[in-house]
Amino acid sequence: MLAGMVIREATSRDWPSIWAFMEGIVRTGETFSWDRDTPEDLAKEFWFPKPPGRTFVAVDECGTVLGTANSVQNHMGGAAHIAGASFMVDPRHSGRGVGRALGRHVLEQARGDGFRAMQFNAVVETNTRAVALWKSLGFEVMTTLPEGYLHPTHGYVGLHIMYQRL
């Protein structure tokens, strides 16, 4: 973990810092499966789920938001024991262990919250750094939806569904 980095529950005061990098990630459409023109108010609603959902930020010693993640109940009813999660790291802080630290934190929190598994519904196969990270943290690619994602430069590419038993 990056020296001095802390992961904590996010608050609405963190939103401007989150949106400052999230907007660019969403607009480029390379790694995240939201509409590229998602308005800020809807993005905030998506990113701060209702309980039992949680939102986290990774911050440095100065309080700068380096990345963010959320954890949600991925299914209802008989499958309510499966969590889901989403992650975004500020590109200016990429490659410094922020995503790995957020991933570990979210997995530990999901275990603590009583979830038995975590499922990622949509990992773009061309996002090779994310795929490698999730595999290194114990996730498996359960299936790939061929041409499941329209990438702005690569055209239609696969969309992985990844899973880990907690």
pLDDT at 1: 60
> How many helices (H) does the chain have, and how many strands (E)?
4, 7
Q: What is the pTM of this model?
A: 0.94
Here the CATH number for the domain that contains residue 100 is 3.40.630.30
Q: Residue 26 sits in which domain range?
A: 6-118
Q: Which of 128, 93, 124, 122 is nearest to 1 (CA)?
A: 93
pLDDT at 4: 86
Q: Would 137 be classed as within a structural domain?
A: no
Q: Would 81 be classed as within a structural domain?
A: yes
For 55-110, write each residue's pLDDT tens digit: 999 999 999 999 999 999 998 999 999 999 999 999 999 999 999 999 999 999 99
For 95-142, write each residue's pLDDT tens digit: 999 999 999 999 999 999 999 999 999 999 999 999 999 999 999 999
Q: Would 71 be classed as within a structural domain?
A: yes
Q: What's the total number of domains in the chain?
A: 1
